[in-house]
Structure 1
């Protein structure tokens, strides 16, 4: 577009080039020749701290100055209505980003010559011009915008440099007051204030729809509640570009207003375009359309804007006890939620812990459905029973009660779990007496030999269940958690075992149920701890008891797992091999002393007892242990 303007209608302006004496040689050698190529006559002035010249409205000041000198010039230009255009000086980093100036001198000169000047807003910090941003508090956490353009190695170096400062971070108390009088007492690690969105990683993404002349400033309040949360943010901000497409980070508050007062009971450090200052009272405001300037090609300027409304998104910001804890104590590695932050979850789990008539009815229906599905050897029916079962509620409630040592919640949950367990086993026993079947099918057999793998399933399901209860947006996944952990089918199998008076079946199934129960509680306790629902010192006793139960349960599970591994190896060694022209198929292994191997012998001729004895001897030789065979034969003709 600029090239088209140059070719069709050459523009001649009254240009004045302003630079410092130390830059005069560079300007004469590099900038003036470029201006001459465009047919521009330029008057060169040297900046000495203050201009005594009077410039007309038609004259345009091309400024090749560092940020510090430009700040003084802007104040004079604002008062006198001078027309400014900026050129990228090596020490003009903040103004270049703030006004969207190209870093390429040729492009910046084309913009300065051919683009029209616009009335732009100017943000002031205690009445001093701000080109880029004001950062209050710990500045390291608010990464400058140019970090996104750095090479990977530089970004990695920046990350480790920030990482070394994690232990030094402190929160400060702030009182924020907007132009319309809205007030907020909070605590924050840092606040970044920008007039539009080109100054930092945060502002680039979160205020990308802002304009240079909308009369508003944006304050982004950073409140990570834990070291882990902050490290995740720093890493994602530097290395995961798609991270920002997911919206505002959960710990960032956003205020949009024409003026903002930031007060603190203690003296706070802040940086004003990189200059370090200290104060207890900071006033930021936007002077609308006060600066007559040629905007850079990267700056969004709109002629007509809708009426701008204040934005006051403060949900992530701490208040009350949460604010006091953040100011008083070091930033924890894991976020500790204040009571008011999980009040809704706590109330919901208190209700879930109760053995209500609805809970008991669902337990009866789920158990009967599971029992019929087990006898029918029907997986879909059993899955339906898993979804219907209400046991996850009191189990997750038990986990939170254990974590916070809430005896009332623990007792209520334990009572509900115990009553539900008794109801389920009783219903399964009665159903077994009424059903004239006494055969262990595949669905029943799958639930009488629990191993460490089942404990792993329970742990993962417990994590998922606790997280789904703590995060409303993923609560729809609770049905999947119920299917994964399968609490009711083991209880139904235990009841079937009692109905048959087969205590091997009962014990195996009940052990699986206990494994699921304790595994879920342990995982949910750890998940709630990690999410910050209790400090570690309060959770130690409950964690220790739960770990002890898991260790005790792990002993029979480990033995069972060892047997399963052994059986798998034997099947792998024997399945499909040929001994004396006889092939071994359908190998099944059952524990015992000696172990019992069920298999089918396939041959082209009839197999006699002598051959079977030979096969047994070869198998014992191959496995290096005595075996008992249960043999079926098939003859190929």
Structure 2
């Protein structure tokens, strides 16, 4: 006679008080409750009698069960403990433990990807370098008053040498290598609930076959503490727009190394390691029970093509050397940026065909505005006239004592 398959609820010994409330729930008689410890390992289970697994426990205990379910192709649901609200949000589980239990008890046929760091399973995120300064200095923690948080900010300003860039090299599975300067990086997993996840919602997916690596590369303390959080807040509910000092890379495999020294790496806010590391995404690794809206939030399409954006990230040697010493309070321009700026000012401060055409067109529009006695047309002409360009070039020529720039702008 064939055995009847049941759901097996595996939980850490220290989670027994939390699990006790589910024993008397409807359908609880069809569930086998089994305790275990990470040190002692999982007990011997009759796989033929198990159709689905639920797990509650610490992060290491959840990882043990995840790997067990993956190796044996079992459907699995995670029921987070009260002190693990992040997991509930990531999996889109109800806030009520009993409602979350019902969701986690339903076997799933859909599979999600899993992220590995140096061949070790990751269930939340990976933080490389100084990516959590706001968190480490508790800048936004509600338990502190406004004045306390302000004091922590100025502490960060005084100790700005702590906030320095590292030189990273990231090699992807397409054998492309990128070297740049950054404060740190975050491998986001499929975390769609945070402010960062909301802004990058079209780049994150549990079924895309790739991992998104967010690169934080602020060029000033003002940009990091004020400008970037403001951008996140404004665009949390709007279309995707990440801060200008951020970049990202999306690939199935990434080898990350640091040039000058090993950089701290924190996995799942628990395990500590250091660079070099290898991030790999295992496609469709496990069948996972999640909330109704979880799949709707997986907007990124599956693709074999890597996606890279490093426009605002320092890549020249001068900038990498400068930011390695510490981040300035206000933005510092490199020699290359100065050269580009003055090249543009010289072009804009001289008389050329574009300038003459716009000036003639603005004059014609202004004349028409006078004939028809329309102030709005005259104002429109003022916006069209290219007079600001030589004025800015003239001002910069005076400030920088650049004789050629001053003369050309004056003639224009």
User: TM-score, length-normalised on structure 1?
Assistant: 0.54
- Determine the structure 2 residue equivalent to 1:225: 219
Correspondence for 1:32: 23
- Structure 1: distance between partners of 2:352 and 2:235: 49
What is the correspondence of 1:64-213 to structure 2 with a 5 Å cutoff? 64-93=56-85, 95-141=87-133, 160=150, 163=153, 164-166=155-157, 167=160, 168-198=162-192, 200-208=194-202, 210-213=204-207
Show CA shifts across 1:384-440 (max 9, x none). 8856765432221123334445443234334x26xxxxxxxxxxxxxxxxxxxxxxx
1:253 has 2:251 as partner: no
Pair 199,155 (structure 1): closer, same or farther in 2 beyond 3 Å: farther
Matched, 1:278 2:282: no
Distance 1:134 1:77 in 2: 23
Q: Distance in 1 between matches of 2:73 and 2:303?
A: 26
Q: Which has the larger radius of gyration?
A: 1
Following superposition, the deviation at residue 199 of structure 1 comes to 6.2
User: Shift of residue 264 of structure 1?
Assistant: 0.1
How much does 1:102 deviate?
3.5
Equivalent pair of 2:231/2:242 in contact (CA under 8 Å) = no
1:319 matched to 2:315? The reply is yes
The answer to whether the Cα contact below 8 Å between 2:264 and 2:272 also exists between their aligned partners in 1 is: yes
Which blocks of at least 5 consecutive residues in structure 1 are unaligned? 1-11, 418-637
Structure 2: distance between partners of 1:260 and 1:386: 52
Q: Provide the residue aligned with 1:616 in structure 2.
A: none
Aligned 1:516-535 pairs, distance under 5 A: none
Pick closer, same or farther for the CA change 1:192–1:69 going to 2, 3 Å.
same
Give the CA deviation at 1:126.
1.0
* Correspondence 1:432-511 to 2 at 5 A: none
Note the aligned Cα RMSD (angstroms).
4.1
Q: Please identify which structure carries the higher helix content.
A: 1
Residue-pair matches, total: 397
Aligned to 1:290: 285
**Distance change (3 Å), C-alpha of 1:305 and 1:264:** closer
Q: CA deviation at 1:325?
A: 4.1
User: What is the aligned partner in structure 1 of residue 37 from structure 2?
Assistant: 48
Shift in Å, 1:182: 1.8
**How far apart, in 2, do the equivalents of 1:284 and 1:339 lie?**
35
Distance 1:246 1:304 in 2: 13
Higher relative contact order (CA closer than 8 Å, sequence separation 6+): 2
Are residues 1:19 and 2:11 paired?
Answer: yes
1:154 to 1:109, Cα distance in 2 relative to 1, 3 A: farther
Deviation readout 1:602-633 (Å, 9 max, x if unpaired)? xxxxxxxxxxxxxxxxxxxxxxxxxxxxxxxx
Instruction: Give the distance between the partners of 1:336 and 1:182, measured in 2 at CA.
Output: 29
